[in-house]
Amino acid sequence: MANQIETVQQLNKGAPKARPYFQNISWSWVGVVPFFLFALLFIFIPTTALFVGSFQDIEGNFTLRNIQMLFTEDYIINSFMLTIKVSLVTAIGGAVFGFFLAYAVTIGGLPRWVRSFLSSFSGVASNFAGVPLAFAFIATLGRVGLFTVFLKKLGLDLYGTNSFSLYSFWGLSLTYMYFQFPLMVLTIIPGLDGLKREWREACENLGANKFQYWWKIALPILMPSLLATTILLFGNAFGAYATAYALTGGTLNLVPIIIGAQIRGDVLNDPNLGYALALGMVIVMALALAIYYMLQKRASRWLR
Amino acid sequence: MKKSRFWSWLIVFLGGIYFFLPLYATLRFSLMMKKDVLSFMAYEQVLHDPKFLAAFTFSAKMAVFTILASLVLIVPTAYWVHLKLPKLRPVMEFITMLPFVIPAIVLVFGLIRSYSKPPILLVSSPVLLVAAYVVLALPYMYRSVDVGLRAIDVRALTEAAQSLGAGWFRILFQVIFPNLRSALLGGTFLTFAIVIGELTVANSLAWKALGPYMTQLAGMKAYEPAALAVMSFILTWASIALLQFLGRGRGGAAPENMAGMH
């Protein structure tokens, strides 16, 4: 077998020499043309079109007014703030809760089956997409949701005296958390496994207590991957449209919701402003992803 | 030690409630259509709705087209890059990660702007829908194929096939594809899961797909949406469970996480 492959390699090495020179020019790039053509048509051209559109007025003349409006129009600033707020709250909340869950099943001394159960469940829940998730929360915490009714029987009226609403900021955040923290669980379990026992033992030998070990050793090691995942969660919530649309029907002024409304009818009275909104989203996402990659590089140093 | 274990149990318990309560509530809700008894009436209503069947068939068809298009587009390219153009690998990784940076709603906005006027008029064609889905599935599909290709010796397989007289077409379809079987299955399942209930793109391009149908139903009915949600859980979860099961074999792609599809 090995001999055969060697022979083939020799044959291949020998073959080009016999051919005329012009065939030596590499034509192998031709093989990737279809893919790059596709990427050009359906990723680069549309993105460029938005980019160009955000610097044009309705007649197609160059203007910076749309970009300026991104930073001056209250309605737009508020929608960006709200989207960022939802993303931050669910990213940080998801990260903290996910971390504790992962901690509980790895180092927390729980039986092995809890861990494997949680991992498979997280794999499923983090893949849980928009509309059905919204329905599940409506059935649970909506106005006539099962849990709402249950609490009402206990004398706790969520929608009355406590002015909770599933269709508001906190309701949306609670729903987003469902796909947020499983992602944290999945990414941080390997990190917690990677904490070597020697490190802990060395710490104890030097007289450190548990708190000192976590504060000075374990957390700094885990920090890059913790932060990286938090950013991933941020991006996850920032671009989310389906869940928010299915849950609130477009009443909450998130940037994706406004863009969606703009697509179906000119709600901003200015399509080019819509392009600028979209550009703003891409810039926020690109920044988040850039930071993610930088942190990921640092994290991989420790987690071999 | 006892004390710390108490906290561990507590947090798992809280997580469990948060995980399962919505699922239980949805299931329960979906069975309550008939007064005072549990019944499958909501399910019957949904399954007998011709609009549901039409929407489901449409989405399933689009999913199949998307899977075929992604496979034909990505597998030969990834294979070729592995074999001949390893320098292009970072470029491929960059391009296939772009859908994470460009949210679906932004992508479809750009597509509409680019292709709703001559010379290329595609907005009302399903081609644009499938193209958008291929883009959305790109990170998952490419990554599963890439993981699969790393696990096999592409060069040796190709040279062995060549020495036996196989052409490129034959190498791809009779040697590379079968060797990537479990990796491709992974990508296929994920793509199917993305497309079948997709809302953002389908809604924006005004297709009567399953996602838009479900949101519309939610505005009019109470119990049917819950029944639909339960059915879609079961469908997605069964396919993911199957994927995890299949992924245990060699060269299998672990289920990826679908950031950005929510």
Residue range B198-257, pLDDT digits in tens = 899 999 999 999 999 998 888 888 888 889 889 888 887 787 777 767 665 444 344 444
Q: Per the CB < 8 Å rule, is B262 touching A240?
A: yes
Kindly identify which residue of chain B lies nearest to residue A244, measuring between CA atoms.
B262
Nearest to B69 by CA among B216, B213, B201, B187: B187
The model's pTM: 0.84
**Do the Cβ atoms of A104 and B7 come within 8 Å?**
yes
Residue A289 with chain B: CB contacts under 8 Å: 97, 100-101
Quote the ipTM score.
Answer: 0.86
Residues of A in contact with B99 (CB under 8 A): 43
Q: Which two tokens stand for residue A174?
A: 């609670």
Decide which of A129 and B147 is more confident. Answer: B147
User: A with B: how many residue pairs have Cβ under 8 Å apart?
Assistant: 277
What does the pLDDT look like over A250-295, one tens digit per residue? 788 899 999 999 988 877 778 888 899 999 999 999 898 888 888 8
Judge whether A264 and A245 are in contact, CB under 8 Å: no
Rounded Cα distance, A301 and B185, in Å: 32
Q: List pLDDT tens digits, range B46-60.
A: 899 999 999 999 999
Alpha helices by DSSP H, listed for A19-143, are: 33-39, 45-53, 65-72, 74-106, 112-125, 130-141
Contact (CB, 8 A) for A116 and A126 = no
Q: What is the pLDDT of residue A236?
A: 87
Query: Taking CB atoms and an 8 Å limit, are A259 and B107 in contact across chains?
Result: no
Residues of A in contact with B200 (CB under 8 A): 130, 241-242, 245, 260
pLDDT in tens, A189-220: 888 888 888 888 888 889 888 888 888 888 88
Tell me what pLDDT residue B262 has.
58
Query: Residue A303: its pLDDT value, please?
Result: 53
CB contact under 8 A, A235 and B260: yes
Which of B19, B85, B106, B215 would best serve as a mutation to test chain A binding (most A beta carbons within 10 A)? B106
pLDDT of B248 reads: 57
pLDDT exceeds 80 at position B130? yes
pLDDT in tens, B69-88: 999 999 999 999 999 898 89
Tokens of B154: 């592409």
Distance CA A236, CA A252 (A): 18
Nearest to B29 among A28, A146, A243 (CB): A146
Compute the nearest-CA separation of B158 from chain A (Å).
10
pLDDT at B259: 43
- Stated as kind and residue range, the H or E segment containing B120 is strand B120-121
**CB contact (8 A) between residue B109 and residue A123:** no
Contacts of B98 in chain A (CB under 8 A): 43
- Contact at CB, B197 and A130, closer than 8 angstroms: yes
| B151-204 pLDDT, tens digit each | 888 899 999 999 998 888 899 888 888 888 888 888 888 888 889 888 999 999
Note whether B83 and B158 are within 8 A (CB): yes
Domain B38-259 architecture:
Orthogonal Bundle (1.10)
Best residue of B109, B171, B198, B214 to probe chain A, by most A CBs closer than 10 Å: B109
Q: Is the pLDDT of residue A304 over 60?
A: no
Q: Contact, B51 vs B220, CB < 8 A?
A: no
Q: State the DSSP H helix or E strand holding residue B116, giving kind and residue range, or none if neither.
A: strand B116-117
Beta-carbon contacts of residue A12 (< 8 Å; ≥ 6 apart): B159
- B25 vs A136: CB contact, 8 Å cut-off? yes
User: Are B21 and A132 inside 8 Å of each other by CB?
Assistant: no
Q: Can the peptide bond before residue A111 be classed as cis, meaning omega within 30 degrees of 0?
A: no
Task: Give me the residue from A105, A135, A256 closest to B105, CB to CB.
Answer: A256
pLDDT mean across residues, chain B:
86
**Interchain proximity A109–B1, CB inside 8 Å:** yes
pLDDT at A12 over 80: no
Strand pairing of B116-117 and B120-121?
antiparallel
For residue B226, give the nearest of A118, A135, A176 by CB distance: A135
**Which chain A residues contact residue B19 at CB under 8 A?**
121, 125, 178
Q: Are B232 and B223 in contact (CB under 8 A)?
A: no
Max Cα-Cα span within chain B: 73
**Nearest residue in chain B measured CA to CA from A183:** B257
Give B-chain residues touching A80 at CB under 8 angstroms.
Answer: none
Nearest residue of chain A to residue B81 (CA atoms): A32
CB B175 within 8 A of CB B166: yes
Q: Is the pLDDT of residue A26 over 80?
A: no
Chain B residues close to A45, C-beta within 8 Å:
110, 114
Name the residue among A5, A47, A135 with its Cβ closest to that of B218.
A135
Whole-number pLDDT of residue B3: 57
* pLDDT given at position A21: 54
pLDDT at A14: 47
Give the ranges where chain B is alpha helix by DSSP (H). Answer: 2-30, 41-48, 50-83, 89-101, 104-115, 126-151, 154-163, 168-170, 177-179, 181-196, 200-204, 210-220, 223-246
Choose from A25, A43, A179, A247 for mutation: most chain B CBs within 10 A. Answer: A43
One-letter amino acid of B165: G
| B6 pLDDT higher than 60 | yes
Q: How confident is the model at residue B133 (pLDDT cuts 50, 70, 90)?
A: very high
Q: Does residue B155 contact residue B171 with C-beta atoms inside 8 Å?
A: no
Rounded average pLDDT over B14-19: 90
Predicted confidence at residue B51, as pLDDT, reads 93
Beta bridge partners of A62: A56
Inter-chain residue contact A241 with B226, CB threshold 8 Å? no
Which residues of chain A are within 8 Å of residue B92 when distances are taken between CB atoms? 35
Nearest to A259 among B95, B109, B215 (CB): B109
Residue B253 is predicted with a pLDDT of 40
Least confident of A10-14, B37-41, B99-103: A10-14
